[in-house]
Chain A
Amino acid sequence: DAGITQSPRHKVTETGTPVTLRCHQTENHRYMYWYRQDPGHGLRLIHYSYGVKDTDKGEVSDGYSVSRSKTEDFLLTLESATSSQTSVYFCAITRDRSSGTEAFFGQGTRLTVV
């Protein structure tokens, strides 16, 4: 158990509204990630963070922003939700870069944009 908590676990929101998903970790890991998982696409990296206030874009970052003001919290914001952002979102951490990208995932947030 890597001590990762995502909230909320489920959310339904309307098109055009802002949405923020939260990832909280208890083990003080430096690297945190946000992925989305869609059928037929596997997991795709949205944004990642390599420290407080240090973030960068992933493969599918358009329409998303992130913030990390504390080591333990990594927030993903959809500024204006669209139906194409309906997905399951996973937060992950990696414990040690030298061990490769062995990731530990949260339980996911199922987001539906109607």
Chain B
Amino acid sequence: TQLLEQSPQFLSIQEGENLTVYCNSSSVFSSLQWYRQEPGEGPVLLVTVVTGGEVKKLKRLTFQFGDARKDSSLHITAAQPGDTGLYLCAGETGGFKTIFGAGTRLFVKA
């Protein structure tokens, strides 16, 4: 069974702090997506990474795809209360097969 493990599962931090969320697997992915989900809503796509070693930035969010395309990280600089939510990673292994991680629930306190 292919798995995508996210860590930590839960993170509560103060506004202004930095944090990193990890997404790890033993499988190689052709692409990997990060989503953010707010309560009562569906996940919203943040970014897709495709190339091993790729780094993408979205304002204060930095996404990195591992060189071997088996893992990824999301780093948030100077977190704000608006960053609060569930962060999900999803990896495509080919065909229609996408595996989602269980998510990291982030709470940023003002």
B33 with A44: CB separation less than 8 A:
no
Interface of chain A, helix or strand or loop or mixed?
strand
What chain A residues lie within 8 Å of B100 (beta carbons)?
35, 42-44
Say whether B78 faces chain A, with CB atoms less than 8 Å apart: no
Q: Report A16 CB to chain B, min CB distance, Å.
A: 28
B30 with A100: CB separation less than 8 A:
yes
B42-80, CB < 8 A from A: 42-45, 48, 50
Q: Quick one: CB contact mask for B22-51 with A, threshold 8 Å, 1 for yes? A: 000000001101000000111111001010
Q: Report B15 CB to chain A, min CB distance, Å.
A: 27
| B96 touches which of A4, A48, A107 (Cβ 8 Å) | A48
Chain B contact-residue range equals 20 to 34
A104 with B31: CB separation less than 8 A:
no
B42 with A102: CB separation less than 8 A:
no
Say whether A84 faces chain B, with CB atoms less than 8 Å apart: no
Q: Report B35 CB to chain A, min CB distance, Å.
A: 8
What chain A residues lie within 8 Å of B33 (beta carbons)?
100-103
What chain B residues lie within 8 Å of A108 (beta carbons)?
40-42
Contacts A42-B88, A43-B100 known; 18 new A-B pairs at CB < 8 A: A4-B42, A31-B96, A42-B103, A43-B90, A44-B100, A48-B96, A56-B96, A100-B33, A100-B92, A101-B33, A102-B45, A102-B48, A103-B45, A103-B90, A103-B98, A104-B45, A107-B41, A108-B42
- B→A interface (CB under 8 Å): 4, 30-31, 33, 40-45, 48, 50, 88, 90, 92, 96-98, 100-103
